[in-house]
Chains A and B, each alone.
Chain A
């Protein structure tokens, strides 16, 4: 269905609102001499709330729509990710307001502008149904991420992280472009829908399709931190200011999953949602590749997380492992699998954002991200430690917390398709992961604080933010029907 320009603009209203926010922020940066943190953040928060609200309204009213000559498709699937994008940016803005690291940087106006750009990039990534558009939106997201990672200009490790990120990211982009060009060469079209038709109608040489797919997957895999494209993550996560790390670990990863699912489900899988008919029409067994990669991703992530002493680095490796669990949902094709990954991402948003938020608050107070410095935290800050414990247990996947539900729905989808070996790898990994998550808990609860440790001060707003992440983490662990139906409905793709 072709849509006129006006209609197209309505469909990207959330992106327009975010773009407007970015423009206002840029003007604010030029017009006000001082950094004007409060005003900047207010504009950013209002803008993101507006964008999120627009997304929700679109979601409520929407049937299926393509916009701008089928460059983007606005469907429940893309809106789900738009919502994650703007809510993530919103939370990151709230985090940044309290961040020690971001306090003395070159200005909050620019930060708001960059973060809004990030939101637009992520939102468009989820809705792109054209290779060119995928590439452009992904570059938008990447460039914003590079800027954010090296945002603390003075800090050396931040600069180092930024440089590493750019180099790795550029190489991954290069691979991806090459893969896309191969696909274009075969299908004579950049549209994902045309690639699907081309796959159905022609028998392409398997080796070419393998190379093209693997190269494209390299680019996407970089975003979701998939082994073996994971080398950058620990350094970058550690070096970046904590709010940015949270953004990369949650939003950037979700964007990667959005684009991977969109890519494969539109170009490689012929589907009739109504009858639950899904079939891989490409000549290659890419599902098996994804399954093997998933196994390696979770195993390597978990094993390397064990010896880490820096909590951000540990959470970086843990987020690699979580990418592995989510990849299980990509190594099978069914609507349940898509919905499981979406549910996992939503749950992952709450628990990981919460964990990073607490890391930042603790760092503000004790100026350290060293796990050893969490010793006895429970005795001086019992509430904060309890919240952290819930987030960490949820990340482990222990009931009755939401992380368990995320795992269960993914495992269910996999076992439905008989992928037992991968589920067994995943549950063994769950046990391994308990060891390093529990290590933080052990430090907080089982050890005594050093002399003269002050309680970590948590203001009212940060406390409310933590509660807003904590409540869903517990609630969705015992009653996740709303989340389930939301994810199920959002798994509808054009």
Chain B
């Protein structure tokens, strides 16, 4: 019974919370907070249930829900989950619940904040489950305006600029996607009815049989347009310039969501849509993608090293880490794909942790200048410990989950593009460089007298961090649950792209 509607429940539970919060008087801050907590907790538990009951040996879509929606255009309400989307759904559930607690000290317009936040959560779940292209697009766009307000109202000093920049960039990417969606639609036939369809599974089958648009240039143009749409989200160099602004200006919880979930959508889109629907183009442009991945890794790391703003450094480290995902996807190997998906999940966990940690110190010191601290480890030992663990995870220390993703990406790609891997590996050194250097400047050295008596990390903050720490540790030593989950779906994807 539950499994018939499981995905809908996950998507729309936050929506119920959204409506409830809208009905509450705005002075009832506690009610509003706890409503948000409850209505992100339920989908999180359901997403764990999804993971637990999923048949990982099957590559097909499970928990499918399919109803006609707009019959005139053959648009369906079509949800489903497989090995590629389930880790993302779990990640979304986890981070959206924890981020509610990171939003605890939002200090104005609570009602608006948490209602928009829940709307955003609904949209994020929807993107990872939608199997109808039109539905996918609606969810994809639905993320934009809550995000615009969340950055624009509750963000840092340059929030207005960052918010509109994010909005315009992502909209520019997605309208290109819309044109491609409509083009797919007119080149598709639903085998059941003979009409056009937005059904992604049908489109995949058609692509597999080579039934799409014959002209090479049209296919290439479609692939490029789709890619730009996704690349802006990832973000792939040179479409990354919105990211440092948005991540830095956004409030802590929203930075976590941005880095942890939204960035994954670009890569997820490549795996769910670009690769299966235009497989020959994916193979044809793979080398270009690998080079972009390389640029992301090295350039992101170098720019991160130059930052003096703690949060900006982490924002650029995201650019660098998402480069691994891109590189793994470009490899077109099973190991590379595994590494890329693992890296997506890890990046969500570890970078989410990093942004939470920056939030902790920013709430106390009210600045983020890396050079303005010093010896914080003396005053906040637990905080320093967790930060060191997150840093090590992010720079890929063996024993933590980050290492496994990166190593698999390199292993998978080395067979195909050895030179690119060798150059990319320098990025790992730079990454170690800026993380260790930042750690040294903030936590080590003579204690800064200014921060004597700074409040230690509190229970609420620990509550948001500890689950992430545990996951990073667990997957670092025993990643098999993850690989078992994604294996079947990834080999199917690999088959689709013809390897």
Contacts and interface: CB of A to CB of B under 8 A. Distances in A.
Contact of A423 (B138, B179, B185): B179
A272 to B, nearest CB: 21
Contact of A428 (B70, B153, B167, B175): B175
Contact of B186 (A415, A480, A484): A415
B227 interface: no
Contacts of A423: 179, 182
A485 B72 contact: yes
A445 B168 contact: no
A415 B72 contact: no
B369 interface: no
B71 interface: yes
B435 interface: no
B186 A438 contact: no
B144 interface: yes
Nearest to B177: A427
Interface string A472-494: 00000001110011001000000
B172 A431 contact: yes
Interface in A278-318: none
Contact of A445 (B70, B71, B149, B185): B149
Given A427-B175, A427-B176, A442-B160, A479 B182 contact: no
B142 A481 contact: no
B153 A399 contact: no
B159 A488 contact: no
A420 B141 contact: no
B195 interface: no
B178 interface: yes
A411 B178 contact: yes
A47 B71 CA distance: 37
Contacts of B179: 411, 415, 420, 423-424, 427
Contact of B153 (A427, A446, A484): A446
A438 B167 contact: yes
A376 to B, nearest CB: 11
Interface string B418-458: 00000000000000000000000000000000000000000
B145 A398 contact: yes
Contacts of A485: 72
B46 interface: no
Contacts of B70: 479-481, 484
B152 A442 contact: yes
A133 interface: no
A393 interface: yes
A436 B176 CA distance: 20
Interface in B20-49: none
Interface string A377-412: 000001000000000010000111000100010011
Contacts of A393: 145
B73 interface: yes
A360 to B, nearest CB: 25
B292 interface: no
Given A427-B175, A427-B178, A398 B168 contact: no
Interface residues on A, range: 20 to 34
A485 B142 CA distance: 26
Contact of A488 (B72, B112, B168, B176): B72
A479 B72 CA distance: 11
Nearest to A379: B109
A420 B69 CA distance: 26
A428 B72 CA distance: 27
A434 B178 CA distance: 16
A481 B72 contact: yes
A415 B179 CA distance: 8
B141 A412 contact: no
Nearest to A339: B72
Given A399-B141, A412-B185, A445-B153, A438 B164 contact: yes
B167 A434 contact: yes
B411 interface: no
A415 B182 contact: yes
B183 interface: yes
Interface in B142-167: 142, 144-145, 148-149, 152-153, 159-160, 163-164, 167
Given A412-B73, A412-B185, A446 B152 contact: yes
Contacts of A446: 152-153, 159-160, 163
Contacts of A484: 70, 72-73
A434 B185 CA distance: 26
A39 interface: no
Given A412-B185, A415-B183, A442-B164, A399 B137 contact: yes
B72 A431 contact: no
Contact of B138 (A399, A445, A488): A399
A416 interface: yes
A420 B142 CA distance: 25
B291 interface: no
Contacts of A168: none
A430 interface: yes
Contacts of A400: 138, 141-142
Contacts of A415: 179, 182-183, 185-186
B201 to A, nearest CB: 21
B287 interface: no
B469 interface: no
A481 B182 contact: no
Contacts of A382: 112
A435 interface: yes
A435 B168 contact: yes
A423 B176 CA distance: 10
Contacts of B182: 408, 411-412, 415, 423
B171 interface: yes
Interface in B182-209: 182-183, 185-186
Which 6 A-B residue pairs are closest in the complex by CB-CB distance? A427-B175, A399-B138, A399-B141, A431-B172, A415-B182, A484-B72
12 contacts: A382-B112, A400-B138, A400-B141, A411-B179, A420-B183, A424-B179, A438-B148, A438-B167, A442-B152, A442-B164, A479-B69, A488-B72
Given A434-B171, A435-B168, A446-B160, 18 more contacts: A398-B145, A399-B142, A404-B141, A411-B179, A412-B73, A412-B182, A415-B183, A416-B186, A420-B179, A427-B176, A427-B178, A428-B172, A431-B175, A438-B148, A446-B163, A481-B72, A484-B73, A485-B72
